[in-house]
Structure 1
Amino acid sequence: MAERKPYEILREVADVFDDTVPNLYRMLARSTVALDAFVYFEQTLERHGCLARDEQAVVALEVAMHNKCNYCRGVMTKEARACGVDDSSIEAVLHGFEPDHPRHRLLVAATRRLVAESGCLGQAEVALLKERGLAFEELLEIIAVVAAFTLATYANNLARTRIDPEYR
């Protein structure tokens, strides 16, 4: 399989963002592998994920907060709002609290546990999450969102990526 060129990947990104390329992608373009991996992760989650877009956004916002990434915090706050997440849920995640929305509260709690335990949840905890409405498949998808946005947050923190005006 031929390696894609950064400009080809950035063209795809620009098509999604109304002919602009957010600074995250410009920064990731310094490594074609990192850029391609992140874009592929995002596209796969968006097109084939079992979690709804608002649910993925809440999980990604929690990852941004956990990893202390101001860039992703701004982006995911805007994304969560665009997906219909209410301001009280967003503010709760931004301040380390649990959202009022029951499904978002469950997702944030599961994300926090998966991150804190590096995925090592006991069978009883997995069963309890299932009983509360999170299937094993959804737990795996939360891990995929964590992985994608850990790539983004770590890279942004390393590069100190300038936050685009629309995400401030």
Structure 2
Amino acid sequence: MELLIFGRSVTKSRLHIIIGGLTLLVFILTIARLAVKGTPSTRANTWGIAVCLKSGVFLAYQLLTTHVERFKKWASTKVNMILNIVDTVFWLALFIITIMGSIGAASEASRALGGIIATLAATLLGFGGMLSYISILERRYYKQHSFLPSDIEGK
């Protein structure tokens, strides 16, 4: 397992960039979907905004505690693991709820945007799952060795 964990900080950084970009795209498309006439502002259609904001806050915490020296005292592998797992579950919920909301949409544009949002949510579900797996590996490594490999990679 030690060989698997080394070099994961670059992979995590890339995943954070991808997830951040796709989250922003889902946020914009969700707002655009709500702006289309014929789309009711029900929970199924506004859920995407909440999920994107939550994901943004989780991502900001992880990036700040990893890369900003001032916030490193609040860094925790356990919190990162829990946040990534919760984030993955929320993307799954968004995927399911968006499909349910798209079925009842009155306009074709709303259905199309719902399909795009559902596809992006499924993509984010996959990337979130990978990030969760890496976080679980880091947590196990940290529990065994009391330090992270990224701590010695930079030295």
TM-score normalised by structure 1 residue count: 0.34
TM-score normalised by structure 2 residue count: 0.37
Higher Rg of the two aligned structures:
2
Larger proportion of helix: 2
